[in-house]
Structure 1
Amino acid sequence: MRKVIAAFNMTLDGFCDHTSGIPDEEIHKHYTDLLNESGVILYGRITYELMEYWRPYIKNPSGEESMDNFASAIDKIPKVIFSNSLRKLDWDSAQLADGELIDEVLRLKHQIGKDILIGSRSLIIQLLKLNQIDQFQLCVYPVVVGQGLPLFKDISDRIVLKLLKTRTFSGGSVLLYYEPIKAID
């Protein structure tokens, strides 16, 4: 069965803000490899629209190898978009979800193939509440912003995670690999 991996960036104080991070060549390479090793990525509308930033780099590379390789990987990976407002997508590798999030995730999990990435905060929260996240890959940037949108907002139940491994990047960011574990009564 395919694993559902929540891969997300956050600040040291737990906020999600794509403008606060300090992505460098190493981090771009990590995420390029993750995308290339995965079978599909699920996005909500907001994150999908943010990721469209990378589309121009396909036709007009930046000359920065790590960014251009990431752009190529994000372009190639199939994307399933969950949105109540989008009616049409013009990115060849993207499609709107046919049904509800849980139904799509369960369908994908039971297919043969590479792992399923979750790249949107809202989808991570929904799937966490439904006990459908198999692994977290949280990249914590050495930045404190003091305000913003917390990654785990609206989680009311205690969730215990087991640390699987860590990776420290030369720029000071730390990638934390966790899996949720069941609480013992």
Structure 2
Amino acid sequence: MRTLTFAMNVSLDGYVAAPGDDLGWSTPSDELFQFWSDRVGSTGLSLYGRRLWEEMSSHWPTADQRPDATPAHIEFARRWRDMPKVLFSSTVGSVDWNTRLFTGDAVAEITRLKAGDGSPMDIAGATLAATAMRAGLIDEYVLLTAPVLLGGGAPFFTALDSWVNLNLVETRTFPGGVLLTRYETRR
């Protein structure tokens, strides 16, 4: 059975994006950027919601061709293109860059994918993750908490019908005061 991880940058007050989907507060240090690149390189399958997919696919497929591309950006762009992805959307017409489009029941498809053999999966995007969270499908939460208060926006966590007990399995500090906390779901 595959594991499913929800990992994102998050503000201290719990948001993954400021109002208007503004991500300007979450510019990573070189060390944090390398963490994300390594994560993409080791992910067997990434499950995307539409908004984050549009953000990522508007930049990373050709980011390595820009004149100002750093070696780290070139590596991330290659890893992102190569990583298998599933986009969960009923409004996007077509996809590219090693991506499959899924328009049906997200919970049923994520459950099916988890039941298979293979490498770990990541879920990318707060709305899609909220659906998986409410269905009890997330095995691990990785929060990279930035020392900023946004006061609103897209929350990392959704309202739940029941408690989810977690075990803290890792902490790490990155430059700029970003704190990684990784939790496994207690089953």
User: How does the TM-score come out when normalised to structure 1?
Assistant: 0.90
Kept after mapping to 1: 8 A contact 2:44/2:84: yes
Identify which of 122, 130, 138 aligns with 1:125. 130
Corresponding position of 2:156: 151
The reply to whether residue 55 of structure 1 matches residue 61 of structure 2 is yes
Equivalent position amino acid for 2:10 in 1: M
Deviates more, 1:148-157 or 1:163-172: 148-157
Alignment length, in residue pairs?
A: 181
- Distance in 1, matches of 2:130 and 2:163, equals 13
Identity %: 30
- Distance in 2, matches of 1:80 and 1:158, equals 28
Equivalent position amino acid for 2:134 in 1: K
Kept after mapping to 1: 8 A contact 2:61/2:97: no
Structure 1: runs of 5+ lacking an equivalent: none
Q: Residues 95-174 of structure 1: matches in 2 within 5 Å?
A: 95-97=100-102, 99-174=104-179
The reply to whether residue 84 of structure 1 matches residue 90 of structure 2 is yes
- Distance in 1, matches of 2:110 and 2:68, equals 35
Kept after mapping to 2: 8 A contact 1:62/1:68: no
Deviates more, 1:96-105 or 1:115-124: 96-105
Corresponding position of 1:10: 10
Tell me by how many angstroms 1:61 deviates: 5.8
Residues 156, 110 of structure 1: alpha-carbon distance in 2 compared, 3 angstrom cutoff? closer
Deviates more, 1:78-87 or 1:55-64: 55-64
Kept after mapping to 2: 8 A contact 1:61/1:68: no
- Distance in 2, matches of 1:92 and 1:61, equals 21
Residues 61, 77 of structure 1: alpha-carbon distance in 2 compared, 3 angstrom cutoff? farther
Equivalent position amino acid for 1:115 in 2: P
Identify which of 65, 69, 87 aligns with 2:71. 65
Segments of 4+ in structure 1 off by > 4 A?
none
Alignment partner of 2:111: what SS? helix
Corresponding position of 1:94: 99
Deviates more, 1:95-104 or 1:28-37: 95-104
Structure 2: runs of 5+ lacking an equivalent: 18-22
Residues 132, 153 of structure 1: alpha-carbon distance in 2 compared, 3 angstrom cutoff? closer
